[in-house]
Amino acid sequence: MASSSNSYNSPCAACKFLRRKCMPGCIFAPYFPPEEPHKFANVHKIFGASNVTKLLNELLPHQREDAVNSLAYEAEARVRDPVYGCVGAISYLQRQVHRLQKELDAANADLAHYGLSTSAAGAPGNVVDLVFQPQPLPSQQLPPLNPVYRLSGASPVMNQMPRGTGGSYGTFLPWNNGHDQQGGNM
Amino acid sequence: MNPKRCAACKYLRRRCPKDCVFSPYFPPNDPQKFACVHRIYGAGNVSKMLQQLPDQTRAEAVESLCFEAKCRVDDPVYGCVGIIHLLKTQIQKTQNELAKTQAEIAVAQTKLSQTHISDFM
């Protein structure tokens, strides 16, 4: 849960950074606690405080924490890699999906081969029925990367980002610890 | 001054100088591209970011900024982080499927070798 910092008379990280008084209704206070100064510094550097204020004001209160965490994630990615930002990570992950899909297709082909040979040898022939059919990536939800970004200049940004509590995406959000098990250095 | 102003200068209603940092990347025939980036980052921030980069990396930086800005406009809560979430979910799922398939291959191999052994008995 987001905690308001100005209830303890300590200005939030945003107001501290902007050198202004942190008022009781401060829109930043619940999401930029004073003990995380870097979070706001990055967001301000990339998006600007006024843009973030505008963005948060256009959202429902329950959406704001996730929005701030995703902005902080993007901002840190852009600070680490000024050319590609999050797109470097997306490109890396897309290639990982593609590679895994190829491996899965090959494994399924292998299994089909074993299924046929075991059937021919008189063993039960239902092994193939157990195989998962690979689910295609939901491309309609993924805007095409155009051009496809090379990762030559991209730095590893995944799993090194600010972490919060997550929301409707649950534990799979990049700033949450859960389920971050895929290989690679991202 | 450029006879044909770039999309950025047109949008900002200003003269387009000869050394305009935006003009190589925001052609006048694509006004939406700059509008999107300006809405999310602001012209000043984009200008600053581009000036801190060597010329040869600026085009790709603009493309990645445009992509992220478009994602943020489409999804104001998660932006392109939503795509990262989708991809990580897909990776997790595919890894699980791959592990299951590999386990089934191992079972099939064992069954096959046992069949061969029993054939020789």
pLDDT score for B18:
78
Angle (CA) B9 B15 B18, round 5°: 90
Q: Which of B60, B84, B112 sits opposite A93 (nearest CB)?
A: B84
Q: What is the CA radius of gyration of chain B?
A: 26
Asked if B8 and B32 touch (Cβ cutoff 8 Å), the reply is no
pLDDT score for A174:
61
State pLDDT tens for residues B73-88.
999 999 999 999 889 8
Q: Indicate if the pLDDT at residue A85 is higher than 50.
A: yes
Q: Indicate if the pLDDT at residue A158 is higher than 90.
A: no
User: Do A85 and B65 count as a contact with CB atoms less than 8 A apart?
Assistant: yes
Q: Indicate if the pLDDT at residue A61 is higher than 80.
A: yes
Smallest CA–CA distance, residue B2 to chain A, in Å, is 27
State pLDDT tens for residues B23-73.
999 999 888 799 999 989 999 999 989 988 998 899 989 989 999 998 999
pLDDT score for A116:
54
Alpha helices in chain B (DSSP H): 7-11, 31-41, 43-51, 55-74, 81-120
Smallest CA–CA distance, residue B24 to chain A, in Å, is 16
B45: closest chain A residue by CA: A46
- Chain B residues lying within 8 Å of A132, measured CB to CB: 97, 100-101
Mean of the per-residue pLDDT values of chain A? 68
Tell which wins on pLDDT, A153 or B57. Answer: B57
pLDDT score for A181:
31
User: Do B49 and A51 count as a contact with CB atoms less than 8 A apart?
Assistant: no
Q: Which of A55, A114, A169 sits opposite B76 (nearest CB)?
A: A55
State pLDDT tens for residues A86-142.
999 999 898 889 889 888 999 989 888 776 544 343 333 333 333 323 333 333 343
Domain boundary assignment for chain B: 1-74, 79-121
User: Do A135 and B42 count as a contact with CB atoms less than 8 A apart?
Assistant: no
B81: closest chain A residue by CA: A70
